[in-house]
Amino acid sequence: MELIAIAFGAIFVNNVVLKQFYGLCPFLGVSTKKSSALSMGAAVTFVITLSAIIAHLLYTLVLEPYDITYLSTIVFILVIASFVQLVEMFIKRFSAPLYSALGVYLPLITTNCAVLGVAIDATVNKTKIFGDLDPTVLHVAIYAFGISIGYALVIFLFSAIREEMDAYPIKKNWEGIPIALITAFIMAMIFVGFGGIV
Amino acid sequence: MAKQKSLKSVFSAGLFKQNPVFVQFLGMCPTLAVTGSVENALGMGAGVVFVLVVANFVVSLIRNYVPREVRIPIYIVIIASLVTILEMFMKAFVPDLAASLGTFLSLIVVNCLILGRAEAFASNNKPLSSIFDGLGMALGFTGGLVLIAFFRELLGAGTVLGMQIIPADYQISILVQAAGAFLVFGILVSQVNKIRLARMSESEVA
Amino acid sequence: MRHLKIVFTLMIVVVLSSVGVFAVEQITTPIIEQAQFEAENAALFEVFPALESSDDLTPEEGLDLEGTTITQVIEIDGKGYIYTAQFQGFQSQIKYMIGVDLEGTITGYQTLEQGDTPGYGAKIADPLFSNQFAGEALSSVGAGEFDGIAGATITTGGFTGSIQKLADFHDATFAGGGGGGEETDPREEITSEGASFTDVTGDYDISGTPITKVEMVNDDEAVIYHVTFEGWQPDASYIIAFDLETHDVLGFRVIEHNETTGIGSLIAEDDFMAQFDGLAHNDALNGNIDSVSGATAPVTLSGLRDSLNEVTLFHQTYFGGGESDEEKLERLIGETFPSENSELREDVTADYPANESILNIFDIYNDDAERIGVVYYAEVLGNSYGDVADIKLLLVVEEGSIMSDVILFDDNETPSIFELNNLLNYHIAHYLTFLAPDEAALSAAYPDAVSFDSVYGDYPYSADILNVFEAKDESDNVLGYVYYAVASGFGGDITFTWGVDNAGITKQLSIVSHGESWNNAYPYSEDPVAGIFPNTSWLDQFEETDLSSINVGDIDDVAGVSTTTGGMKEAFAYIIEYHETNVGGAN
């Protein structure tokens, strides 16, 4: 039950994009096509989940015992950077079309706030997420996976909406980012409703 | 394009023409997350000024000694160290602000703006102009944040920097919530675009 | 080379960055910790204004907090509890802190952390919400009696659930005395079941007293005081109820104490507390309580007695009760000279010179109309400069003794020893009841005299000299003097009479009473009869000699009875000196 609550909260209530504003650059930049949104979602899910687990292990086994938690930010960003490098190599090797679709944003997955944000929230700021519960690796994994699914879900829905939107005329100054933001606003309003369920 | 732009143009580029918030859409996470109040926006802005200026300066200093292959990791280490230093200073001297910025303080590390400027400008320019670039970009970023925060706080909570201006009954509290950030930002961007489009057509005509 | 450069550059950057970060960490860590400490404690003070920096703020351990939403409990000894709890709000974990005093009244509330919707759930941190709790009973707030946040049903619901569990926990763990379940209110235990209690603390000035709260029981039937006191350990507290008609104690319950188990802890035992049921007002005033259960805890009991005295005095000030001074005087005299007949006291104050300390002088007679004592009722200064208040006391002198007893009206006070001495001197000067031996003992000391008159009143009083008599012949001519004096011997006081004529020639020494075993000296004595005290040849050397020629320092103690002879020698030396400076010198 606890794990379900964590997962539900992570996917809907505390939706990483619409509520916590993590990972907005790729959200607005990449999500113009459903296919690339899905790929991005998959890549981010992989990176977020694994880096959160690694961050949690590093934090509880190294940083906390040696009382150097102030180094968290540096340590985590390096871990994440290495990971992103891996994913980038992986995609480049196995899916050239996907690689070209993600374009400039793929290297910037390193600087995707969602990845570092989740890692930090699950460790340094764990009371914000888990309350009094001292999270185990399983809790962190579920949380990070939930967050990623929430990210993938929103980014996919959003790209679907934007694809449809392309068919309609929009005033010049509202094109692109502005209309995307208004769309995000409406989606965020809808997601606020999930808060009532928990 | 001139090989070495004047410091003034470097500085003002970040403030207006290349404004990171409204034109480049860099560092959008904090743009939306911390603009619930002007105070937070200013705090985040100050943090970004510090990190961006120092990072640009350091990156520019070492630009000729850094092997290309590892430049990104090195930039990240530098930026992360600066952010850690900033975090510790803010927690020590302005703990309330540090608490309200929360994770976003740490997330300055991954603010696309900072790594972006290090990569795009500081790694190719002299230290002094890198400083000006950083200052211009950071102030432009701060200005953008404050502008959004001003509308959100004023209309959403009826206050500016904590001073009550609009009575409680006439506030649109959705604006200080997460969703409202998108709305205000979207409207502001559309208006900035309008101005830019008007300018562009003027220059075309001219 | 290229790889080397990469590694080298990376290393340099990492090392330099680390140095920078470490340096800043060294500077900021203490500041951050201090700020956090202050912020945390500021919240504590906020929710528990009675907190002092000396209070122990260590969180309690070993409590079963499972499912209570409580994250921390701090028990402030003798004052109350501070709870920290956390629950899921609308979109964030909300952490709050609440203080509860010993009676279960909320002392303060503060939301520590929240990230709920601004304008809705976030209002949980607004003063409008936070300030409604102080002064309310935790139990009623736990039952949902508070104003929720309009439009924030989830946040309010989360809070309601959390505070309800917290109230239940508090009730089960602390309010009921630990057992859980239904416990009776100790206030009802010492008054009556279902009694109503009205807090009237504000109507009285409790500053400077150990009283923390005053409550009326059923309007005006009784009054309950909540009291703190210091026993062996600080911060013990109890409640005590006084009947408002008789002003006697109705009951007493220790609420909290940290006394040593098996020693000071006796005060919390039923046997001990039971003695307060119906305890007379004056017994409470004077701390006439027993330590029961076989434990002796003088420090704890003395602390308790002191505080009982203060509380009873407080009660007297505001509600009356206790006896008047006249009643007390009457009672104390009655206790000292037990007699059914109060007619046997005669106020003779008017017969004697006025004295600023003495209020009354009473002669006490027995049924045969013989005077058996005198009582001075006086008011003297206290022992220290700080104690200038008049202390009422009785100086009791039984007939035939110098001083029998000093009875203080208030046991807790210490009269000035000088003032007591003044009273004694007054007694000696004006109320001549010096000790007198049998006529035979006087004659033994001065065989030529036929009558003896005490003249001690004319001379300075000394504790070593019980009386001084003029020895007279048939025609009332003064032949000399007889001293009735006391020496300290091995087996107690030795009283003796010693005559000396006008020329300073000693007459006889006569032992009046003694507890000696002089026989120890026998082996060294040549005369077996003289070896039996008081008929000893050693004493003979003081008889029929010129007083001025006796040099006590030259006389050896008798081996084996050196304590006795030493004590006698001291007494002789004192009499010789006294005689020469006062009595003989008067000639």
Do residues C226 and C211 touch, judged by C-beta distance below 8 A? yes
Mean local confidence (pLDDT), B31-58: 89
Q: How many CB pairs under 8 A join B and C?
A: 66
Tokens of B193: 């675009």
Measured in angstroms, the CA of C122 and the nearest CA of chain A are apart by: 14
Strand order in the sheet with C405-408: C345-347, C358-365, C371-380, C391-398, C405-408
Domain assignment present for residue A165? The answer is yes
Query: Do residue B25 and residue A28 have CB atoms under 8 angstroms apart?
Result: yes
Tokens of C370: 């013989």
pLDDT single digits (tens) C238-247: 899 988 888 8
- Any B CB within 8 A of A8 CB: no
pLDDT class for C181, splitting at 50, 70, 90?
very low
ipTM: 0.79
Q: Which chains have 3 or more CB–CB distances shorter than 8 Å to chain A?
A: B, C
Measured in angstroms, the CA of A196 and the nearest CA of chain C are apart by: 7
Residue type, C141: V
C143 CB contacts (<8 Å, ≥6 apart)?
A: C164, C167
CB count in 10 Å sphere of residue C205: 12
pLDDT single digits (tens) C265-282: 778 877 788 888 888 887
Please tell me the total count of domains within chain A: 1
Tokens of B81: 């160290």
Mean local confidence (pLDDT), A81-95: 77
Report d(CA C409, CA C411) in Å as an integer. 6
DSSP letter for C525, please: -
Measured in angstroms, the CA of B81 and the nearest CA of chain C are apart by: 6
End-to-end C-alpha distance for chain B, whole angstroms: 21
Residue type, B105: L
Residue A68: give the domain boundaries.
2-10+26-192
Report d(CA A161, CA A170) in Å as an integer. 14
Query: Any idea which of C181-195, C220-234, C488-502 has the lowest mean pLDDT?
Result: C181-195
**Has residue B121 got a pLDDT over 70?**
yes
pLDDT single digits (tens) B75-90: 888 888 999 999 888 8
CA–CA distances in Å: residue C256 to residues C44, C265, C476, C586: 22, 10, 76, 70
Q: Hey, which bits of C399-533 come out as E strands?
A: 405-408, 451-454, 465-472, 478-488, 493-501, 506-513
Domain assignment present for residue A17? The answer is no
For residue B113, what is the nearest residue in chain A, using CA coordinates? A111
Domain assignment present for residue A198? The answer is no
Q: Which chains have 3 or more CB–CB distances shorter than 8 Å to chain B?
A: A, C
Residues in chain B with CB shorter than 8 Å from the CB of A111 are: 110-112, 115
Instruction: Out of C17, C29, C118, name the one closest to residue B176 (CB).
Output: C118
Q: Scanning the structure block, which residue is given the tokens 């300390």?
A: C357
CB count in 10 Å sphere of residue C197: 17
**Has residue C178 got a pLDDT over 70?**
no
Measured in angstroms, the CA of A127 and the nearest CA of chain C are apart by: 8
- Any A CB within 8 A of C120 CB: no
Domain assignment present for residue A19? The answer is no
Do residues C521 and C558 touch, judged by C-beta distance below 8 A? yes
Looking at residue A43, its pLDDT comes to 76
Do residues C353 and C430 touch, judged by C-beta distance below 8 A? yes
Quick check: bond before C534 cis, omega within 30? yes
- Any C CB within 8 A of B182 CB: no
Domain residues of chain C, as ranges?
Answer: 1-42, 70-175, 186-319, 325-430, 439-586
Instruction: Out of B70, B92, B173, name the one closest to residue C35 (CB).
Output: B92
Residues in chain C with CB shorter than 8 Å from the CB of A131 are: 86, 88, 93
Measured in angstroms, the CA of C242 and the nearest CA of chain B are apart by: 52
pLDDT single digits (tens) C445-460: 888 888 888 888 778 7
Strand order in the sheet with C478-488: C451-454, C465-472, C478-488, C493-501, C506-513
Q: How many CB pairs under 8 A join A and C?
A: 30
- Any B CB within 8 A of A117 CB: yes
Chain C interface, mutation test: which of A6, A15, A68, A70, most C Cβ atoms within 10 Å? Answer: A70
Measured in angstroms, the CA of C109 and the nearest CA of chain A are apart by: 20
Report d(CA C19, CA C11) in Å as an integer. 12
Report d(CA C147, CA C87) in Å as an integer. 18
pLDDT single digits (tens) A24-42: 766 776 667 777 777 778 7
Question: C362-395 burial, b if ≥16 CB within 10 A, otherwise e?
Answer: bbbbeeeeeebbbbbbbbbbbbeeeeeebbbbbb
Residues in chain A with CB shorter than 8 Å from the CB of B110 are: 77, 110-113, 115-116
DSSP letter for C174, please: I
Report d(CA C14, CA C28) in Å as an integer. 21
Query: Do residue C14 and residue B173 have CB atoms under 8 angstroms apart?
Result: no
For residue C32, what is the nearest residue in chain B, using CA coordinates? B92
pLDDT class for B142, splitting at 50, 70, 90?
very high
Burial of C18 (0-12, 13-18, 19+ CB in 10 A): middle
pLDDT class for A193, splitting at 50, 70, 90?
confident
Do residues B28 and A28 touch, judged by C-beta distance below 8 A? yes
- Any A CB within 8 A of B174 CB: yes
Q: Hey, which bits of C353-505 come out as E strands?
A: 358-365, 371-380, 391-398, 405-408, 451-454, 465-472, 478-488, 493-501
The candidate with the shortest Cα–Cα distance to B44, out of B107, B137, B120, B88, is B107
- Any C CB within 8 A of A169 CB: no
